[in-house]
């Protein structure tokens, strides 16, 4: 699996359909475009799955929390039994985790909650 790097790659993946949602996350998928001979390809290699994590500052104010959530996204995506189709995917945080429940910026409870929700997100996609 390849990671999305550029803004153009993220925008292309977000332009695709939302294939699954949970309370805090949304998974967007876009089929990989076939590059023209004279055009520079946006996704190389084209035969691999691409994944990006998008955690806006609006929903996770502390950088420690944003980085923890991104690490959990990439970790769960490689460890789960979910088979990623050859497409560009973005896992986007769409609402904040309650700061009253998760007081620490990074805690085992927050990591467990994120991991559980990501597993259910990937499970929804696998069943669809």
The full set of domains in the chain, from first to last, is 2-127 (3.30.230.10)
Instruction: Print the SS3 string covering 19-80.
Output: EEECCCEEEEEEECCCCCCCCCCCCCCCCCCEEEEECCCCCCCCHHHHHHHHHHHHHHHHHC
pTM: 0.87
pLDDT tens track of the chain, all 128 residues? 899 999 999 998 999 999 999 999 999 999 887 666 545 677 777 778 899 999 999 999 999 999 999 999 999 998 877 788 888 999 999 999 988 888 888 889 999 999 999 999 998 888 76
């Amino acid at each position: 699996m390849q990671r999305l790097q550029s803004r153009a790659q993220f925008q292309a993946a977000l332009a695709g359909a939302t294939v699954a949602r949970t309370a805090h996350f949304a998974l967007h998928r876009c089929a990989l475009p076939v590059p023209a001979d004279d055009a520079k390809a946006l996704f190389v290699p084209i035969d691999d799955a691409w994944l990006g994590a998008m955690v806006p500052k609006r929903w996770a104010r502390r950088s420690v929390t944003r980085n923890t959530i991104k690490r959990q996204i990439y970790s769960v995506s490689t460890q789960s039994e979910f088979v990623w189709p050859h497409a560009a995917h973005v896992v986007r945080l769409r609402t904040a985790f309650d700061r009253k429940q998760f007081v620490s910026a990074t805690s085992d409870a927050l990591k467990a909650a994120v991991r559980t929700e990501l597993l259910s997100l990937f499970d929804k996609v696998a069943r669809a």
